[in-house]
A and B are shown apart, each in its own frame.
Chain A
Amino acid sequence: MDVIKSSVAGTLESSDAQVTVEPGSGALELNIESSVINQFGRQIRATVMETLDRLDVKNAKVTIVDKGALSCTLKARVEGAVFRASGYTEDDICAGKKLPWGGAIR
């Protein structure tokens, strides 16, 4: 997917993660800030990278501020930010631009 604008999904509440996706400068750049970076940093990175890979995001700057999110939440927030950044507004979705549940969203 092509990231065409900056978008955010998620909050800074406990158990959540705030994900920001911005247009990249030719490659994928990932920054992670987490309250549990020492214990789970590697897992968080792996989950985010797998999700970006499934969504075919190759050129973007992705920033994660993690507040102890489960992997299901991390995936949801990355997808939320990427789809928004790729121009999937709720209006488009409601107008019939169907989301790939079970496909790229897994």
Chain B
Amino acid sequence: MINNPNLNRLRRSMMFLNAQKPGLIKDPYIYKPDSIMLDLEDAVAENQKDAARYSLYHALKEIDYHGVERVVRINGLETAHWKEDIRVCVAGHCDSIRISKCESAADVIAVEEEMKKAEEEFGVPHGEILIMAALESTKGVLNALEICQASPLLFGIALSGGDYTKDLQTTISGTGVEFAWARGQMINAARCAGKQCFDTVFTNLDDMEGFRRETEMIKMMGFDGKSIVNPRQIAVCHEVFTPTEKQIIQAEKIVKEVDEKKAMGIGVFTVDGKMIDIAFYPGAKRTIELAKAAGVYEGDL
């Protein structure tokens, strides 16, 4: 078992940043995303892979990100770069490693094995650096459950829509129809394995209404957060994923009433005219936990 408090931390917004761009990585914490994802993969040109690692190493060592989670997206296992990427991630002691183009449990295990070697080399205790997996292909999405169950270090999976739609032989329509099955499959697998699940990026920065609609939809589906590409998307993302005052009050009532009625031997009852039983309890608890993590809970539960 891994005892790392970051496993279940709040990750409403996970913002991509090119690790090779000093102007981007020097102070992104001012926008207060929950996580930043320092990218060694697609954002970095092939002839700058080496330069990006030096930049990443010193950023991890010297910049205070004020509690924002520092995830590093490493190059895929089909490339030659990923092993040295893992060495620099461990030496710089990032918080989590994002596996790009993850397709199977074996991919996760290969990354974990390489991490163990680096942890030994650099004296980092095993379990301090976590893993997340990006599913970017039909094979990866089909294998979502085995990926979720591959390692106790893995905290969640994320859909990567650009590559996935290429693999499906379609394009991103804006309606979400092309992602419907992948999203459903992934959130189901993640929850089955007790892991978190994150949605793909929304790249049209001028369509904030579309971004809000998509974020509300994936929130309803059960997702924990969304990958984002611009600080402008953070506020909307947090608004959607943070419980409202009304939801918090309702959740409080349910938790308190269920506890009370259980002691009295009553299984089903009404709260504000709605039927409530034990099935509502975990959801209400989760709302309270989310409110606490987001810093908006002022009650006594």
A residues neighboring B (CB under 8 Å):
9-10, 13-16, 69-73, 75-77, 79-80, 83-84, 88-91, 93-95, 98-99, 101-102, 105-106
Contacts and interface: CB of A to CB of B under 8 A. Distances in A.
8 contacts: A13-B21, A16-B21, A72-B55, A76-B58, A98-B87, A99-B88, A102-B91, A102-B122
A105 B23 contact: no
A89 B48 CA distance: 10
Main secondary structure, interface of B, reads helix
Given A15-B22, A16-B22, A101-B88, A84 B50 contact: yes
A19 to B, nearest CB: 10
B54 A88 contact: no
A13 B23 contact: yes
A94 B74 CA distance: 13
Contacts of B55: 72-73, 76-77, 80
Contacts of A77: 51, 54-55
B63 A72 contact: yes
A80 B51 CA distance: 5
A6 to B, nearest CB: 16
Given A15-B23, A69-B22, A75-B58, A99 B51 contact: no
Interface of B: 21-23, 26, 47, 49-51, 53-55, 57-59, 61-63, 80-81, 83-84, 87-88, 91-92, 122
B26 A101 contact: no
A9 B62 CA distance: 20
A80 B54 contact: yes
A91 B79 CA distance: 11
Given A15-B26, A69-B22, A101 B87 contact: yes
Contact of B59 (A9, A72, A80): A72
Looking at B22, B63, B83, B92, the one whose CB has the most chain A CB atoms below 10 A away is B22
Contacts of A91: 80
Looking at A70, A71, A84, A106, the one whose CB has the most chain B CB atoms below 10 A away is A70
Given A72-B62, A72-B63, A90 B81 contact: yes
A81 to B, nearest CB: 9
Given A93-B84, A94-B84, A101-B57, A76 B26 contact: no
A88 B50 contact: yes
A90 B50 contact: yes
Given A9-B51, A15-B26, 4 more contacts: A13-B23, A16-B23, A72-B59, A91-B80
B128 to A, nearest CB: 15
The 5 closest A-B CB pairs, nearest first, are A101-B91, A72-B58, A94-B80, A76-B54, A15-B23
Contact of A72 (B23, B47, B61): B61
Contacts of A88: 50
B189 to A, nearest CB: 32
Contacts of A72: 55, 58-59, 61-63
B50 A105 contact: no
A95 B22 CA distance: 27
Contacts of A14: 23
Nearest to A98: B87
A14 B58 CA distance: 18
B236 to A, nearest CB: 27
